[in-house]
């Protein structure tokens, strides 16, 4: 039997599950403007996965890279959820926005 597919599936489940709170925390502390970091790291992971011969590591790195790239969309959607009041807004960012408007 080959276990690599199941192992990659478990890794994908853990990575995707862990990115939900990561997106929430990143939007809270850094706003959605942190998206370029997710873009750079996601591309690095995806490209790096092409050069690994170990199937599990390559798959895990590709899943990590794709999760980071998908998180760019989720960061903007999280900002919308915060503006609707579904998630708490960071008071420090609210104060900065008010100062900029004045």
pLDDT at 101 over 80: no
Residues whose CB is less than 8 angstroms from the CB of residue 15 and which lie 6 or more positions away in sequence, other chains included: 60, 63, 64, 67
Residue 64: which of 94, 19, 31 has the closest Cα? Answer: 19
Residue positions counted in the chain: 102
Structural tokens at position 24: 């929430």
Q: What is the pLDDT of residues 33-75, one digit of tens each?
A: 999 999 999 999 999 999 999 999 999 999 999 999 999 999 9
Q: What is the pTM of this model?
A: 0.86
How far apart CA 37 and CA 17 sit, in angstroms, is 19
């Amino acid at each position: 039997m080959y276990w690599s597919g199941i192992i990659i599936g478990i890794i994908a489940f853990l990575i995707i599950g862990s990115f939900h709170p990561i997106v929430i925390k990143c939007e809270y502390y850094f706003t959605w403007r942190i998206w370029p970091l997710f873009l750079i790291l996601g591309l690095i992971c995806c490209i790096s996965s092409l050069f690994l011969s170990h199937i599990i590591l390559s798959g895990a790195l590709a899943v990590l890279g794709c999760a980071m790239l998908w998180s760019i969309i989720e960061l903007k959607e999280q900002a919308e959820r915060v503006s609707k009041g579904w998630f708490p807004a960071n008071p420090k960012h609210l104060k900065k926005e008010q100062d900029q408007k004045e």
